[in-house]
Amino acid sequence: MKKALLPSERASWTATLLLIVAGVLFIYPFVWMFCSAFKDNKEIFKPLQLLPGAWNLEYYKLLFKGELIPFWRVFANSVLVAFLQALGTVALTSLAGYVFAQHRFRFQGLLFVASLVVIVLPQQALAIPLFSWLNELKMIDSIWGVVLPGVVSGLGILYFTQVFRQIPRELVEASRLAGLSEFRVYWTLLPLCGSALLSFGLIQFILSWHEHLIPLLVLSTQDKQTLPLALASLFGSSLRFPFAVLMAASTITILPTAILFAVMHRRFKSSLSEVLPH
Amino acid sequence: MGDWKTYWLRGKGAPYLLLLPFFAFFIFFWVMPLVGGLRLSLHSNTLVEESEYVGLQHYQELREDPKFEKAIRNNIIYTGACIVVILPSSALLAYWLQSAWKRVRPGLTFMLLLPGLTPPAVLALLFLLVFHGKEGVLNQMFVMPFSRDGAINELFHLHFNARPINWLKDPHFIMPALVMQAVWRWTGFVTFFFLAGMEAIPKSLYEAAYLETNDRWKVFKRVTLPLLQPVVLFCAVYLVVDAFAMFSGAYMLLGGSGGTADAGLLMVSYSYQQAFTYGNFGTAAAMSLMVAPALLALLWLAIMGPRWLKGRVG
């Protein structure tokens, strides 16, 4: 007799087929976008025509020349903002997460809930007050005005508290008995959560890469803008320009997060499932 | 001196010292804007000149502002629709993915996730160019077959007379278009979260369940979903918050206004409009602060709800 397999081990062809249909519907626009970077304006406005008449690289060249938007400049800004924000968030929230997970102290519950409040009241919901505050601080039109408020992440606190809860207490106690200061204890535990740090860094990078509202309020000079802003302003401009340039820019905009995710996909999923309550 | 150092580095003071960096940022970039916003909302609408204290005037005005009411109503409908569509479809997709052919699983997951990895501004752009419009995919696939000489009519000798929908101009279809975009963006991500949660469920539970039944769907419903409850709750909270912070998509599709008859006016778009189109920063700040209690109540519900349920059942 055949041993009964668990659902994760038996393959169902109907499920696979249905998923392929859903998947194709989900990514058709992306395939279309990739192909449309080679089309002229007449071809582009036929959404059902997928392949371009000719694989014409001139629109990429036009984009890289930087006359319509300073593309590489904007791209570099986006990378810088997202990287700094990811780094800052991981540093601050992992430290706080360690404290919440491995210490008992007065006002612990209150402080924890205070940081959770940031999840339900994110900076986008408070964008106008944030803008006028940054205005008072003279941080308008500086990338720090985007990066610094962005590192206050309630999600990070929740995530790293769960991560540091997984670490055996004996290990923490042993490091304390060895006479390390609390910060050194945290520092020695860090390598144990490498995956978790990278995963959350990736999430924060993606969130920051996508952010539209806050940079729109803060950054006004074109040379300081990030990708969503540049794409939106090109799209909204009354200029007559080949739409293929916009599609080429969009294609490159998607690449970094898509590649990062594809590379880290497995690590990301397992570190996520470790922190989820079960 | 030595005691003092021990207290902060190893003793009772250490937790507070280590929390300091995060909470310094928290106070400086979250609490201060909030306090500033409160002050702003109690003063008249000028940024340049000295503004004067007006008390609760902005709040009063907002209570009588039909546009604000519309924005709230729209946002609630938008949020509800997102939740109702995304959570069940993600559960279904996760269920399918769990039983799909193993070798195509990562590829399929990635296909579903790609919209979630894409900036919403680009999604909106693609939505405009591919889905929307007379020639767009949505019309060609779902509406045109029902047009006068469309395929469905020809096949079944029916007399539907559908016309291509102008998704972003027709006020009845603006909201569905916004919701569709959110669904496109988040379904894959939520599915991924569900899958990660499912990985955390002990195999032994499944083994036990399969001793009793061979019905995969039943096991999913009775074992997987109940154990997934915290993950579902987390995703639901996140989706609600995201829906109330939704800006990019609406801004790209409707150009900073609310669309025809304000059918697509959402909270953040309206406060953006108040602040940057009309220069009413006080009103805009008051608006943000009026939403705050609702979102805080959501957090309270998310924390207390499961406890309450547990108390009832267990």
Most A CBs within 10 Å, among B4, B17, B19, to test the A interface: B19
| Amino acid identity at B36 | G
* Contact between A8 and B252 using a beta-carbon 8 Å cutoff: no
Domain with residues A63-275, CATH architecture: Orthogonal Bundle (1.10)
CA distance A61 to chain B (A): 20
> How many A×B Cβ pairs under 8 Å?
326
d(CA B179, CA A48): 23
* Contact between B122 and A254 using a beta-carbon 8 Å cutoff: yes
In Å, how far are A204, A208, A259 from A88, measured between CA atoms? Answer: 10, 12, 22
Domain with residues B59-102+174-302, CATH architecture: Orthogonal Bundle (1.10)
* Contact between A27 and B114 using a beta-carbon 8 Å cutoff: yes
d(CA B101, CA A2): 19
User: Of B105, B191, B194, whose CA–CA distance to A11 is shortest?
Assistant: B105
Q: What is the pLDDT of residues A210-255, one digit of tens each?
A: 999 999 999 999 899 999 999 999 988 877 888 899 999 999 999 9
Encoded tokens for B181? 């975009």
Residue pair A112/A159 in contact by the 8 Å Cβ criterion = no
Most B CBs within 10 Å, among A121, A155, A235, to test the B interface: A121
* Contact between B22 and A96 using a beta-carbon 8 Å cutoff: yes
* Contact between A130 and B216 using a beta-carbon 8 Å cutoff: no
For residue A7, give the nearest of B114, B120, B216 by CB distance: B216
Residue pair B251/A229 in contact by the 8 Å Cβ criterion = no
CA distance A126 to chain B (A): 6
Show me where the domains of chain A are located: 63-275
Q: What is the ipTM of this complex?
A: 0.91
For residue A182, give the nearest of B9, B111, B192 by CB distance: B9
* Contact between A121 and B220 using a beta-carbon 8 Å cutoff: no
Residue of A nearest to B131 (CA): A47
For residue A228, give the nearest of B33, B248, B289 by CB distance: B248
* Contact between B244 and A125 using a beta-carbon 8 Å cutoff: yes
In Å, how far are A15, B70, B76, B173 from B73, measured between CA atoms? Answer: 38, 5, 5, 16
Going residue by residue through chain A, which has 278 residues, state the pLDDT in tens, using 9 for 90 and above: 344 555 546 688 888 999 999 999 899 999 999 999 999 888 888 777 888 888 989 999 999 998 889 999 999 999 999 999 999 999 999 999 999 999 999 999 999 999 999 999 999 999 999 999 999 999 999 999 999 999 999 999 999 999 999 999 899 999 999 989 999 999 999 999 999 999 999 999 999 999 999 999 999 998 999 999 999 999 888 778 888 999 999 999 999 999 999 999 888 888 888 887 65
* Contact between B197 and A23 using a beta-carbon 8 Å cutoff: no
In Å, how far are A8, A130, B68, B71, B285 from B59, measured between CA atoms? Answer: 55, 19, 11, 15, 10
Q: Provide CB contacts within 8 A for B38, sequence distance 6+.
A: A129, B285, B289
| Residue B132 DSSP one-character state | S
Q: What is the pLDDT of residues B297-308, one digit of tens each?
A: 988 988 888 888
Most A CBs within 10 Å, among B27, B105, B125, B168, to test the A interface: B125
Using a CB-CB cut-off of 8 Å, the residues of chain A touching B16 are: 105
What is the average pLDDT value for chain B, to the nearest integer?
88
For residue A213, give the nearest of B10, B130, B248 by CB distance: B248
